[in-house]
Amino acid sequence: MTKKHSYTNPSEKQDLSHLEASAGGEHFDEHGWPTTPPMSDRECIYRSLENCINLAGLDKKQVMRLVEDFKTKKTEVVRNEEYPVL
């Protein structure tokens, strides 16, 4: 047998459905979760080459030349993380 508590919430009920509305300009997946903005093929190649500059087995001078050929403006990635990247 469970006893009923006598507590009543003194605050007024509020309609908070408007809080789930998203701000304009952001990108979302099919489930409504925020995602990073899409990047161009050229930027994808550039970022891959940037990550490979010091990769063993590749000619560093050749990779640096390719990085210069594919150099482009990077897409701004906004991170909403509580903790900094380690």
Q: Give me the mean pLDDT over the 57-82 stretch.
A: 78
Tell me the torsion sign for CA atoms 49, 52, 58, 63: positive
Distance separating alpha carbons of residues 66 and 42, to the nearest angstrom: 12
Q: What pLDDT, on the 0 to 100 scale, is given for residue 21?
A: 55
Residue 81, number of CB atoms within 10 A of its CB: 6
Whether the full predicted model's pTM is greater than 0.75, yes or no, is no
Model confidence pLDDT, tens digit, residues 9-55: 778 887 776 665 555 556 777 887 877 778 888 888 888 888 888 88
